[in-house]
Amino acid sequence: MLMLSNFSVRRPKHELPQQRALDWLSELHATAEATRGGLSEQERTAFAARYRKLLERCACGPADLSFTFTRSTGFGFSGVAK
């Protein structure tokens, strides 16, 4: 029987608050949808609000998950996040 052993936990280098990650994801999708669909700024804002509601229903919120950890510098750190 094959066994794996000698594991070590290594925390990913980058972390950000879960709320920031969800906001970033929502804005990123809204920007992509606006670009793809030629949405006005008002339509893009409405799409972002709908997508945020979807994330609130389907994703772990800040009350359940305080921080998101990643090895990638792109996630939550680039594009539209503030």
User: Domain range holding 56?
Assistant: 14-70
> Span 77-81, mean pLDDT?
54
Q: How many domains in the chain?
A: 1
If one counts every other C-beta atom within 10 angstroms of the C-beta of residue 10, the result is 7
Does 77 fall in a domain? no
Q: What amino acid occupies position 81?
A: A
Burial class (CB in 10 A: 0-12, 13-18, 19+), 21: buried
Whether 27 contacts 48, CB under 8 Å = yes
CB within 8 Å of 37: residues ≥ 6 apart: 43
pLDDT, residue 79, reads 57
Does 1 fall in a domain? no
Q: Mind listing the pLDDT tens digit for each residue in 8-54?
A: 888 888 888 999 889 988 999 999 999 999 999 999 999 999 999 99
pLDDT, residue 76, reads 66
Does 78 fall in a domain? no
